[in-house]
Structure 1
Amino acid sequence: MPKTYELDLGDYWRIVKRRKVIVLGTFFIITAAIWIHTSRIPPTYKAAASVKVDKPRTAGTTDPTFDVWEGTDFFEAQMEVISTSGVAHEAASALGLIKEGMTEKEVGAIIEPFQGVIPSKRGNTNILDISVTTNDSKQAAMIVNAVAKGYQIWSLKDHNEQAKQVREYVWDLLKENEEKLRLKEVEVREFKEKNPIGASLGTFQSQVVDMEIKLSNLLEKYTDRHPEVTELRGQIENLKVRLAKFPELEMQFNKLTGELQSLNSIYGGLKQKYEDAKIAEAQTVSGITILDVASPPDSPIAPDLQKNVTIGAVISLILGILLAFVKENVDTSISTIEEVEDFLQVPILGVIPEMVHFTPPEKKWEWRNWLKFLPFKAFQRSGGSDITAIEEVRKLIMLSGEEHQFSSLEAYKTLRTNVNFAVAQKKGQILEITSAGAREGKSLTALNLSLTLAQNGQKTCLVSGDLRRETVSRILGVNKEPGLVEILTKDIPWSDVIRKTTDLLVGELPPDRILQTMGIDNFYLLTSGRLPPNPAELLSLDKMRTLLTELRQNFDFVIIDTPPVLPVSDASVLGPQVDGVILVYQVGRTARGALKRAKVQMASTGANVLGVVLNNIKAAEMKMAPTYYYYKEYYGPDEQLVRERHRKKSQGKSWWEKIFSRTA
């Protein structure tokens, strides 16, 4: 059962270093974008003024009938008023911005900035703050001060207008009441004239008694028909009738006099209110008091470049790290030696570190060296051409005369030792070097392993078995024809087509590198020959088995470079015919599932999978075994030594030679 590993701080740091391009790219791109965006935002200034608002009572009265703010939220209404076009018009007029003859559209454009103010109430006080934000500090102060003044003017005009309306209303009531009073006075006068009710009830009653006594005296002298008796009786009857009507007339009179008094009272009150309204209409003091006048702000409130960039940098760094972990999580490649061994159940035979060729100072200005900074991997690999790519690969061959990182050479020596132990140091061993996918470095690994074995005194033959995309002959600079294909199809003896040291000397590699390499005479090369249309069929021929048998008898090691396992079947065809298969795996290029399928596929054909070579490993990419670090620490990359050698070489040159050597 595969082991599970808990990540420690070192693992997290390794992931960040491994994905540093994502982390740094995200950090610099987002931070730069925020810096550029913030720098291009116009500065915003804020200015504020404050006013005290006294709640008015129209027309100078305390009568709630005339309190226009009764039952309303006064300060909410005032904050709405401050942002209206009326106040904005007064503010613009106070600055002399509105001229006669302007159209409504022109006036609207002028007062628009003044309507952009933001009023707010200060706590539970009657103070309102008026603020505005603009891109000009002087304009901001000018706008809020003008609005405060315009609000004061508008409030006074509004108060006077209300007072005028109240005065006119009271005047109409006064005239109406005056007419009613006149008519009531006439009615009372006429009633009094028609109904003399000035005497009291007792006076009428005494008159009746006196007249009845007088009637009794007359009856003693005269008869009932006597004229005096008859007249007196009529007067008594008339007086009694009037006496019976007296209470009703008195009530009517009292009602009329009461109505007259009420009208007189209302008339007097209205007359007083009218005088008060006239005084209020003439008032020149507003209920708005300007407390604080705004001054142009010295610094903008936005944008805050330092704050935005700092926040952006922190967020982008966090985002970059998160993206790195997301990338690591979705990356299906294998990142530790233990994972490879547990996942494939085969050992790690070698760990080949990343081999970076040192560029001398005089060549740093060559155009091809700048191509590596391009984001297109094709140009990075090839330097702009296929020929340049081959030249770069040749610098990584384990030959003398080229200054390498010594850790790479020692890594191949370790691989050589592990291979010898894997095959029990038997002679005549045939090994197949392959990989799960393309571009994992199998051909270079096969070549360097062959050279390292040869330098160890072991007679080694490298067979270019990739009959689809031959690479080894191009790297070594020799003609690929005739080769393996010609042996299998034309019955040419292998001894006639195999390449020796003399063939390499006439190739494209520098002869001094070949001659200075110890044990190079133990290295032999069998190229692919002309690429056939049916590679797998050729490799499955009996002639191929016969060839391998003959090579086994003549060499200590036969290293076969084959195509990748998964795309084609060539490697699977050769698997059962060889003594062992070595899988080359480049971390980060191939998914773990593909590597597993390659191993299973080779094993299913009966091939003996000896192990895996981890190729082109960066220190930040894998949690390596201590051995790798010992090589790196002990042998270096001895780049300082290389620089020193180049410095000494250039000391003997004149200044013009140094200049032309840079451009050569």
Structure 2
Amino acid sequence: MKASRELVKSDSDLTSIERSSDSSSTPHSYNYGVDPNAETEVNLLDYWRAVRKRLWLVISIMALITMLSIIYVARKPDIYQAGARVQVDLENNAALVGKTPYVFGPANDPVYFNTQLQILVSPGLMRRVVKTLDLEHNPNFFKGSSAQKRSTWQTIKQMAGFGKAEPPTVADKLPDDLPLGATVPAATSHDDRAEAKRLQPYVGAILGGLKVDPVKETRGLYKETRLIDISYTHTDPEVAAKVVNAIAETYVFNNLERKTETNTNTGTVLQKRIAELQQTIRTDEERLVNYAKNNRILTLDASQNTVVERLGSLNKQLGEAEGARIEAEARFNEAKRPGAATALTEADQLKANESETKLADLRQKRAQLMVDATEEAPEVKEIDTQIAELDRQVKEVRSRKSNTLLMNLETNYRQSFAREQALRKLFEQQRGETGSQNEAAINYRIIQQEIQTNKTLLDNLLQRSKENDVIMASKPNNISIIDYAMAPEGPIGPNRTRTVFMALFLSLGLGVGFALFLEYLDDTVHSTDEVERLLHLPALAVIPSAAASGRRRLLAAPGGLQKRNGYHSDNAELLMNVDGRSPLAEAYRHLRTSVLLSTAGRAPRSLLITSSLPGEGKTTTAVNTAVSLGQTGASVVIIDADMRRPRLRSIFGLSDRAGLSSILSSDMSEADMLALVSKDEVSGLSVLTSGPIPPNPAELLGSDQMRRLMAALQANFNHVVVDSPPVTSFTDGVLIASIVDGVLLVVHGGKSSRHVVKRARQLLNDVGAKIFGVVLNNVNLQSHDYYYYQRYYGSQYYKSDVEEETERASA
């Protein structure tokens, strides 16, 4: 058990680790290749972890809401439903509209059917039902049956299947002598607002439980029927049945009452209209006879009227004259175009054609002479004289004939226009004479048509009056009750089991949603996945908390921390020295390996360990990292650069004397600098404390003396570990980050804010610092996010010697 189980042997040769020069082979280098878009990826495992982390919250919400729903449904009374069915045929209005009755089909008048559905749920009909059943004096209508007064516990037992449903008993039933087939008394106060206001609560209660649905057939071709189902739900089965039957009976009676009243009114209107038409017909016949005598109308036959015949003849002549005028006008306008009259003249004048023939011969002859002679030759001049004379004669003939033709066409046009105007004047005169003569005949025909129309209408009204008398004598009703309602034997609701399961699932969704909402509000860093996704940096190590690593057991065990190390404190910073197999030691050895492999070619000589805010464990990480590096046999010096809150002197039990501030505030030589470095015999580390706290730490840490100090220490030690203040609070750490080989950023698991950590990373990147990665510190391994690490560090293989001794002592 005491054999060495160190990860790296303490051999000085191990201080120089061979690496490949290829940076791509170092997965934990500061240039960490994380996809920037990975932050937006949706990972279902993250949701599951968020819910699992708050599993008891989800279970509590589910238990609370489910229990409340059980109590709620257990206190609700049973609901009973009774139903009746009525048939609605198409209304026969033959006496009103003069049509033959027809059978109501599936596509016949849907407006009428929908109107009946609305009448069934009208407040007026419900008020008549309330008065018919005397619901105002029935306490059982609102109170419910006595069967619903059983305890909540009995209902819960029945839901679980350990109790039997009790048969409904009614204390105050409605009167059993309700006439289901008799006539319901007519309502006498439809317009009484006071009564309507008084009955409004009862009407609302009925409408709240009433359901009216048309019955649809699913087996035949036509899905629609003439049936309507009326159902009503109530806590008392007897009340439900009585109310449904009362609604059906009242509805049927109201329809019959309305039809009877309508037929009576129709008969009155028909009789009045018939008397008016008879009087009108007699008056119009007398007026027709007197009109014929006064206007000497003997016949209305148009074939025997000469005035009309002459008007037709004039109309025909006027049409012919108008056509002749249009033709003459067209020819005259065509002749007025340039060249048109000349073309017409040439066609009729043979003399002009002969002259042109001679003129062509002379021109041909002149052309022959011009072959051997000139234009000054006598024979050529003679021919030119003849050509000019013939051309003048041709033009004179053409002009004279053209003028003559235009004059003839104009004369013809004017004659045609004058004849048309004369015939139009005669036509208008004859038409006026014809209109005067026929006006009396037209009025005579109008009076005749009015008399004939009134006689036809009178015959129709007499026929309708007879049909209405037959309808009134038979008292038909197109609405009838098919099935009456019976008191239901068992309740239809509430479905308590379904309600409870719905509440269970809804509460599950609410609990999960609330857990995810809390996870959304949680701005802290919890896992290595979040570190790599949010910061785009590798998570070099996960350091468990002291409680999770069994620190209490180490301190209480024989030969514990005080006895082994000789310290008079139980500082957690030096738990690395307690046992090399403890979870903390394994975590820091893992961090050491990641640091040594973080750069290509050689191990980093100088290392800055800082955090974003105070209290994240940077000093603890710096001390234990330095100890783990020293365990490899390398010489390690740790510098307390946190001159605002120094802690190394208390950890290592060093006196408060000169330190870092003394070196930076003076011009010491390298030997004087190294003389201030103290050696801790227990841990094997060299320690340079902060020294007296200066008023200006940032100016000292950014000075050239600090660079000289770092160069001197790197020349005399294998590794230089610097503990600096938080980078977001002070600029000290940012100044040091630019002169070291790399930076470790310590993040407190479950406490450090994501935005603050990202800001710290940005500050380090702005000065060109090489961030090796992130150390997730003080992690609770009992959390679901670190289940793997819990198994790794808590396995039997990695138990420390002290733990095994403690277990044997307790056994």
Structure 1 length-normalised TM: 0.55
Displacement, 1:423?
A: 10
Separation in structure 2 between the aligned mates of residue 574 and residue 311 of structure 1, nearest angstrom:
55
1:120 aligns with 2:297: no
Displacement, 1:84?
A: 0.7
Q: Give the match's secondary structure for 2:483.
A: strand
Matches within 5 A, 1:224-373: 274=469, 277=472, 280=475, 287-293=480-486, 295=488, 297-300=491-494, 304-307=499-502, 309-310=504-505, 313=508, 335=529, 350-355=540-545, 357-358=547-548
Separation in structure 2 between the aligned mates of residue 164 and residue 77 of structure 1, nearest angstrom:
19
Shift in CA distance, 89/299, structure 1 to aligned 2, threshold 3 Å: same
Contact 1:90 1:151 in 2 (8 A): no
Match of 1:584 in 2: 745
1:443 aligns with 2:443: no
Match of 1:52 in 2: 86
Separation in structure 2 between the aligned mates of residue 176 and residue 22 of structure 1, nearest angstrom:
89
Shift in CA distance, 497/65, structure 1 to aligned 2, threshold 3 Å: same
Structure 1 residues without counterparts, runs of 5 or longer: 182-262, 364-391, 502-518, 604-608, 652-664
Q: 1:155 aligns with which of 242, 245, 252?
A: 252
Match of 2:764 in 1: 598
Matches within 5 A, 1:27-176: 47=81, 49-55=83-89, 73-98=111-136, 103-116=195-208, 117-123=210-216, 124-131=224-231, 137-138=234-235, 142-143=239-240, 145-164=242-261, 166-167=263-264, 170=267
Displacement, 1:325?
A: 11
Matches within 5 A, 1:340-419: 350-355=540-545, 357-358=547-548, 394-395=571-572, 397-399=574-576, 406-416=582-592
Separation in structure 2 between the aligned mates of residue 18 and residue 423 of structure 1, nearest angstrom:
34
Matches within 5 A, 1:529-568: 529=691, 531-541=693-703, 544=706, 557-565=719-727, 568=730
Separation in structure 2 between the aligned mates of residue 474 and residue 151 of structure 1, nearest angstrom:
96
Separation in structure 2 between the aligned mates of residue 416 and residue 396 of structure 1, nearest angstrom:
16
Contact 1:16 1:23 in 2 (8 A): no
Q: Deviations over 1:243-281 (max 9, x none)?
A: xxxxxxxxxxxxxxxxxxxx9999999689658635639
Q: Deviations over 1:28-49 (max 9, x none)?
A: 6986797588668776958352
Displacement, 1:409?
A: 0.8
Contact 1:433 1:560 in 2 (8 A): yes
Separation in structure 2 between the aligned mates of residue 646 and residue 149 of structure 1, nearest angstrom:
85
Shift in CA distance, 159/612, structure 1 to aligned 2, threshold 3 Å: closer
Contact 1:459 1:555 in 2 (8 A): yes
Displacement, 1:437?
A: 2.9
Displacement, 1:74?
A: 3.3
Matches within 5 A, 1:369-518: 394-395=571-572, 397-399=574-576, 406-416=582-592, 431-435=606-610, 437-438=612-613, 441-454=617-630, 460-472=636-648, 483-485=659-661, 488-489=664-665
Separation in structure 2 between the aligned mates of residue 20 and residue 464 of structure 1, nearest angstrom:
42
Q: Give the match's secondary structure for 1:122.
A: strand
Q: Which one is further off, 316-325 or 101-110?
A: 316-325
Q: Give the match's secondary structure for 2:119.
A: helix
Q: Percent identity?
A: 19
CA RMSD of aligned residues (A): 6.5
Structure 2 length-normalised TM: 0.47
Contact 1:60 1:276 in 2 (8 A): no
Q: Deviations over 1:344-388 (max 9, x none)?
A: 7xxx7952343352499999xxxxxxxxxxxxxxxxxxxxxxxxx
Shift in CA distance, 157/599, structure 1 to aligned 2, threshold 3 Å: closer
Higher relative contact order (CA 8 A, sep 6+): 2
Displacement, 1:146?
A: 0.8
Q: Which one is further off, 301-310 or 407-416?
A: 301-310
Contact 2:714 2:720 in 1 (8 A): yes
Shift in CA distance, 15/144, structure 1 to aligned 2, threshold 3 Å: same
Displacement, 1:122?
A: 0.9
Separation in structure 2 between the aligned mates of residue 338 and residue 362 of structure 1, nearest angstrom:
32
Q: Deviations over 1:14-62 (max 9, x none)?
A: 5456655688699669867975886687769583523122437689999
Separation in structure 2 between the aligned mates of residue 21 and residue 38 of structure 1, nearest angstrom:
25
Contact 2:610 2:733 in 1 (8 A): no
Q: Give the match's secondary structure for 2:606.
A: strand
Q: Deviations over 1:608-630 (max 9, x none)?
A: x5833543377986999xxx899
Separation in structure 2 between the aligned mates of residue 479 and residue 58 of structure 1, nearest angstrom:
117
Separation in structure 2 between the aligned mates of residue 286 and residue 11 of structure 1, nearest angstrom:
64
Displacement, 1:465?
A: 0.4
Displacement, 1:485?
A: 3.1
Give the letter for the 1:277 counterpart: M
Give the letter for the 2:761 counterpart: L
Q: Give the match's secondary structure for 2:607.
A: strand
Q: Give the match's secondary structure for 1:447.
A: helix
Shift in CA distance, 459/484, structure 1 to aligned 2, threshold 3 Å: same
Separation in structure 2 between the aligned mates of residue 180 and residue 550 of structure 1, nearest angstrom:
133
Separation in structure 2 between the aligned mates of residue 433 and residue 629 of structure 1, nearest angstrom:
29
